[in-house]
Amino acid sequence: MKFSLSQLSPVEAEASWILIGITEDGEFDEAVQSLDEALSGSLTRMKEREDLTGKSGELTIIPDAPHLNADRLIIAGLGKSDKLKIGGFGKSIVTAIRKIASKEDQTLSVCVPVSASKAFSEESALERIADVVTVGCSTQGLYKEEQDRHEFTAVTILGAEETKQNQDAIARGCILGEAVNLTRKLVNQHPDDLYPDSFAQISADEAAAIGIRGEILDEHMLDDENMGALLAVSKGTDRPPRMVVLRYEGGGEGIPTLALVGKGVTFDSGGLSLKPSAGMITMKSDMAGAATVLGAITAIAKLKLPVNVTGYMGLVENMTGAGAYKLGSVVTARNGKTIEIHNTDAEGRLVLADVLAYAVDHKVDKIVDLATLTGACVVALGEDVVGAFSNNQPWCESVLNSSREVGEDIWQMPMYDYFAEQLKSEFADCKNIGSRWGGAITAAKFLEQFVDETPWVHLDIAGPSYAESKSAHQDAGGTGVMVRALVRLAMEN
Ligand code: BES
Ligand code: ZN
Ligand code: ZN
């Protein structure tokens, strides 16, 4: 989409739509006042009658505005000005975009609300506007003939100066929005479209497009690398596993390397511990961790951040074919630990065990892994909050802060050592599940065995990476959660 900045007032700007935001308290800002005057005081009267409240999520459409150069006006409620944060602001704007992007060949002019420029900064507001316009116009109807939303032919942002800084902020927003869209698209692709090899090919194409190096390890190479836990999971399918490694070296030598590790189970049937249909229907999305890593690394590279980031994506399909790994089997992970399988549906941690150990062996300095790891995390934190687990508090604080700065909801969970006792096995070094209670934590304690002393944060995104139903601010399906947070983390560390 083509974005530009303009100093025209919203009364002068020509567009299919003018989008403005108003808060619940305080006066109209200058841009809104000028619109109000051109509309002969309509907005003031609507406010007095409480038809226009500025409450968060409220949308007011004026479908015919003869005194403006634009065809129509949409007003997004931003909530109370002292509560205005970047995440909520983005949600309000994207809600409006999703409402109006249904027709083809439309143009849009957006006013930067003064309240937003005060609450964060003008640049942050511009960046987020470009980001959510990019996300809000995209459609999840991958397999539909008719699309329900379309990009605008031109987007003009009003009220911010045409400086290099502001243009850069918009460019950053577009890159972030496109990265979120890439992650969402991968999550939504059905499992016979997106499987380990096709995911690896897409990663290779993305890497080539942005000019970064990488490797794809096939099943033989994974065997040579002693990745027995990951390979066990893939035994029940004809589709061979892959591991993708992508290296972005923007920092040069001497700068620490951040590893982003993603669970990429392209379909999780549960294996012989078969899932019931109701639990299996969304399991094409069990590669969201890997898709988030790919989305984030493309954005980090396009933004040319002065950092070194390596993405590791463990790609397998968990099926029930004749060779499927069995309950009671003992598998040997890359670091030599033996694992007794008590449940083949706890496969993500087996995949990550080997990929984490591989990253550690390659001397990365810090690790963040992302995984749709446990239903228990969704029970604990709900569908919208990411669970964070760590062996290193300062590193965890960095991840929590980056997430909060970009408005992604996250909560740290405890890592008491007694949870690890549940993983003791009679026959092997450990087993792959604990008891029913605290299942998200025992999963994290399992992973901890494979990262040695490397500062590591595990993010369980089982809830927030996939929306089971649509809402005003987002489509059903992949959400792209944590792409923005990872990019921010790379900027700040
Ligand atoms: N992919 C699932 C976790 C999941 C559940 C993701 C719901 C998204 C939504 C994972 O592989 C799994 O099946 N975990 C089991 C672990 C159990 C067997 C210890 C679970 O959560 O039930
Ligand atoms: Zn599973
Ligand atoms: Zn899974």
The residue whose CB lies within 8 Å of the most ligand 1 atoms, and thus the one to mutate among 374, 377, 419, 459, is 374
| CA–CA separation, 346 and 440 (whole Å) | 11
Instruction: Say whether both 131 and 50 belong to one domain.
Output: yes
**Domain total in the chain:** 2
Per-residue model confidence as pLDDT tens digits over 46-71: 999 999 999 999 999 999 999 999 99
Instruction: Say whether both 146 and 209 belong to one domain.
Output: no
Does the beta carbon of 348 lie inside 6 Å of ligand 1? yes
Does the beta carbon of 187 lie inside 6 Å of ligand 1? no
Does the beta carbon of 316 lie inside 6 Å of ligand 1? no
Catalytic entry in 149, 242, 334, 349 = 349
Active site residue 275: yes
Active site residue 404: no
Does the beta carbon of 57 lie inside 6 Å of ligand 1? no
The band of 139, judged by pLDDT with boundaries at 50, 70 and 90, is confident
Instruction: Say whether both 132 and 232 belong to one domain.
Output: no
In this structure, is residue 282 part of a structural domain?
yes
In this structure, is residue 44 part of a structural domain?
yes
Query: Which CATH number does the domain housing residue 77 bear?
Result: 3.40.220.10
Closest ligand 1 atom to residue 273 Cα is 18
pLDDT at 470: 95
In this structure, is residue 169 part of a structural domain?
no
In this structure, is residue 177 part of a structural domain?
no
Q: Which range marks the domain in which residue 410 is found?
A: 182-492
pLDDT at 118: 93
Residue 291 has pLDDT above 90, yes or no: yes
Contacts of 433 (CB under 8 A, 6+ apart): 342, 343, 346, 423, 439, 442
User: How far, in Å, is the centroid of ligand 3 from the Cα of 375?
Assistant: 9
Contacts of 9 (CB under 8 A, 6+ apart): 31, 34, 158
pLDDT at 124: 98
The residue whose CB lies within 8 Å of the most ligand 1 atoms, and thus the one to mutate among 266, 343, 345, is 345
Instruction: Say whether both 195 and 231 belong to one domain.
Output: yes
Catalytic entry in 47, 80, 247, 275 = 275
- Domain stop point among 162, 195, 220: 162
In this structure, is residue 450 part of a structural domain?
yes
Share of the chain above pLDDT 90, in %: 98
Instruction: Say whether both 243 and 296 belong to one domain.
Output: yes
Q: In Å, how far are 257, 268, 278, 361 from 458, measured between CA atoms?
A: 17, 20, 27, 18
- Domain stop point among 162, 191, 221: 162
Residue 264, φ and ψ in degrees, nearest 5:
-125, 65
What the block records as the tokens of 392 is 């290193």
In this structure, is residue 173 part of a structural domain?
no
Per-residue model confidence as pLDDT tens digits over 221-236: 999 999 999 999 999 9
Residue 104's Cβ-count burial label (10 Å; 0-12, 13-18, 19+) is exposed
pLDDT at 141: 84
Instruction: Say whether both 254 and 287 belong to one domain.
Output: yes
Instruction: Say whether both 191 and 324 belong to one domain.
Output: yes
Give the count of beta carbons closer than 10 Å to the beta carbon of residue 305: 17
In this structure, is residue 174 part of a structural domain?
no
| CA–CA separation, 75 and 474 (whole Å) | 18
Around ion ligand 2, which residues have CB less than 5 A away?
Answer: 268, 345, 347
| CA–CA separation, 320 and 235 (whole Å) | 8
Per-residue model confidence as pLDDT tens digits over 433-490: 999 999 999 999 999 999 999 999 999 999 999 999 999 999 999 999 999 999 999 9
